[in-house]
Structure 1
Amino acid sequence: MSTDASGGEATGVPVTVTADAAREALSLLEGEGMDTDVSGLRLFVQQGGCAGLSYGMRFDTEPEEDDQVTEQHGLRVFVDPASMNYVGGAKLDYESGLQAAGFHVENPNVESECGCGESFRT
């Protein structure tokens, strides 16, 4: 399901969320005492990093009026219109391994990434 916060159908290709990412984010949301029926994970793009743009994520209690809201595996993801231009069609995953664990954005819009994978250019 993908709508804008006013209830209308969203434009653009939504962000997809893996079951692992949703499970981890929901666990963190609940740990913060947030209502997972209303709250969600905000994915956004900001200026920064050696390649020019970087991803940001935070929990929000509710979407903004013009956000695209995607709900998958019980997790609500909020993306503002400007960020959607960069992350539309991306996949949010959670990876855990021996050296690092965390959320990872697989973005088909990226032309190049920096060596550490923290910033990108479209």
Structure 2
Amino acid sequence: MNKLPRVPLLITEEAKKKIKKIINSKNYSTYKLRIYITGGGCSGFQYGFKIDKKKQKNDIIFQNSNINIIIDPISLQYLQGGKLDYIENLEGSKFIIINPNAKTTCGCGLSFSI
């Protein structure tokens, strides 16, 4: 059996619980969390998260605590060494990336620049 590589970013316990809850509550057992980066946002790049079933040709699937995460090669270079967290506060609830590669981030934490 092929063992998937570990995710190149830390995943907090809060994020793990939320991912498992989403996947289990929607019968998404064959789905994975996709983490990606797009252009845009206040600071130039923006983080994106979605539950995805399809792996694209160059995507890499990582595993951490029985959670499968899909990251495309371009996004991977910006996420290396970061941390995925999930927060709930007065502003709402969301996944966030704490990224040591980012030179600046916006106030909402969803965009950054390198």
TM-score where L is the length of structure 1 = 0.79
Partner Cα distance (1:116, 1:34) in 2? 28
Partner Cα distance (2:89, 2:106) in 1? 21
Pairwise CA distance, 1:74: 1.9
Moved more, 18-27 or 43-52: 18-27
- Residue number among 19, 24, 28 corresponding to 2:18 in the alignment: 24
2:42 paired residue number: 50
4+ residue segments displaced more than 4 Å: none
Moved more, 61-70 or 79-88: 61-70
State yes or no: 1:14 paired with 2:8: yes
- Residue number among 64, 75, 82 corresponding to 1:90 in the alignment: 82
State how many pairs are aligned. 112
1:108 paired residue number: 100
Pairwise CA distance, 1:23: 1.2
Letter in 1 for 2:107: G
Q: Is the 8 A contact 2:33 2:68 kept in 1?
A: yes
CA RMSD of aligned residues (A): 2.0
The answer for unaligned runs of 5 or more in structure 1 is 4-9
Moved more, 60-69 or 84-93: 60-69
Q: C-alpha deviations, 1:27-68, integer Å up to 9, x for none? A: 111222211xx4210000001112111000001114334222
Letter in 2 for 1:74: N
The answer for unaligned runs of 5 or more in structure 2 is none
State the secondary structure of the residue aligned to 1:25. Answer: helix
Q: Is the 8 A contact 2:38 2:45 kept in 1?
A: yes
Partner Cα distance (1:112, 1:70) in 2? 27
State yes or no: 1:33 paired with 2:32: no
Q: Is the 8 A contact 1:15 1:70 kept in 2?
A: no
Partner Cα distance (2:23, 2:34) in 1? 12
Q: Percent same amino acid among aligned pairs?
A: 30
Letter in 1 for 2:21: S
State the secondary structure of the residue aligned to 1:63. Answer: coil
